[in-house]
């Protein structure tokens, strides 16, 4: 990752946002998903910088080297907070009136959709992956919808009770959790059975990594999640009804 610079940006809303960036030119904001980091965009950062863009990838609230969010309070991880973080970051690293290209994946796509909705004046173009746009429903409860549709073992339902999924991860190890989560490619919903781990791949079943995911990559993700705990990322799901 030669030439990628790492900085901490202090935003107006009190967050210390770690970013990885490289290049000069129009700014491309790369927003990661769960359970990831700026590191997910390492190849895209290099490519964009080599093609005349300034690529910026933050660690989102609750992840990596970004600090300032109370991990023990999931209500501080609502979409309002997440979008505010991105606006605070843009206020700090762009010129007045500058619009940026936004690229989101997974939870990053949800943040990006809402960034465009709340502040279209800050966005030049949008590229999103894996999560379609869903209109806000003031009476909606996504976790309850998943419970009613898929049952208690659906991963989003399992993420709701504080401490419960953290215990599951501790039982299987952070590295194993990441391997099984990031390599899941079945068409069926993802289930994590209580006390048993992933339904599609029990804890004692080894995982063969695909060519795009190296052991060294897993080690980096694992070390970061072990330092910050997985609760920060899980809080996004706990804040869904908020």
Instruction: Count how many Cα atoms sit within 13 Å of the Cα of residue 20 in the half-sphere of its side chain.
Output: 24
CA 32 to centroid of chain Cα atoms:
4
In this prediction, residues 141-152 reach a mean pLDDT of 92
- Quick one: pLDDT at residue 137? 78
Asked if residue 155 has pLDDT above 90, the reply is: yes
- The pLDDT, as a whole number, for residue 241 is 67
The listed range with the strongest mean pLDDT (84-88, 183-187, 193-197) is: 84-88
Reported confidence tier of residue 141, pLDDT bands at 50, 70, 90: confident
**Entry pTM:** 0.95
Instruction: Supply φ then ψ for residue 56, to 5 degrees.
Output: -130, 125
Q: Which residue has the higher pLDDT, 134 or 162?
A: 162
Report yes or no: 184 and 190 within 8 Å, Cβ to Cβ: yes
β-strands 54-58, 100-105 pairing: unpaired
With pLDDT > 70 as the criterion, what percentage of the chain qualifies?
99
Measuring CA to CA, how many Å separate 34 from each of 110, 116, 122, 205, 230? Answer: 11, 20, 24, 23, 10
**Averaged pLDDT for residues 8-33:** 96
- 242: pLDDT strictly greater than 60: no
Answer whether residue 138 shows pLDDT above 80. Answer: no
**What residue has token string 């330092």?**
227
Q: Given this model, what pLDDT does residue 196 score?
A: 87
Number of Cβ within a 10 Å radius of residue 139: 4
Q: What is the mean pLDDT of residues 167-175?
A: 91
Taking all residues of the chain, what is their mean pLDDT, rounded to a whole number? 94
What pLDDT is recorded for position 198? 93
Contacts of residue 165, defined as CB under 8 A and 6 or more positions apart, other chains included, come to: 158, 159, 192, 230, 234
Tokens matching residue 224: 């970061």
């Amino acid at each position: 990752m030669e030439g990628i610079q790492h900085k901490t940006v202090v935003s107006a809303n009190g967050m210390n946002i770690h970013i990885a960036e490289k290049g000069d030119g129009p700014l491309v904001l790369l927003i990661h998903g769960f359970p990831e980091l700026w590191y997910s965009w390492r190849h895209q950062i290099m490519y964009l910088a080599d093609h005349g863009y300034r690529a910026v990838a933050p660690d989102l609230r609750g992840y990596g080297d970004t600090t300032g969010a109370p991990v023990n309070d999931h209500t501080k991880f609502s979409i309002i907070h997440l979008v505010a973080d991105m606006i605070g970051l843009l206020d700090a690293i762009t010129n007045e009136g500058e619009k940026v290209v936004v690229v989101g994946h997974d939870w990053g796509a949800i943040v990006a959709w809402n960034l465009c909705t709340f502040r279209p004046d800050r966005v030049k173009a949008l590229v999103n992956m894996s999560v379609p746009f869903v209109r806000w429903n003031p009476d909606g409860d996504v976790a309850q919808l998943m419970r009613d549709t898929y049952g208690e073992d659906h991963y989003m339902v399992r993420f709701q009770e504080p401490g419960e999924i953290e215990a599951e991860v501790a039982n299987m190890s952070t590295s194993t959790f990441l391997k099984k989560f990031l390599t899941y490619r079945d068409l069926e919903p993802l289930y994590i059975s209580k006390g048993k781990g992933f339904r599609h791949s029990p804890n004692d079943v080894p995982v063969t990594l695909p060519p795009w995911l190296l052991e060294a990559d897993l080690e980096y993700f694992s070390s970061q999640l072990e330092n910050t705990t997985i609760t920060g990322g899980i809080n996004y799901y706990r804040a869904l009804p908020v």
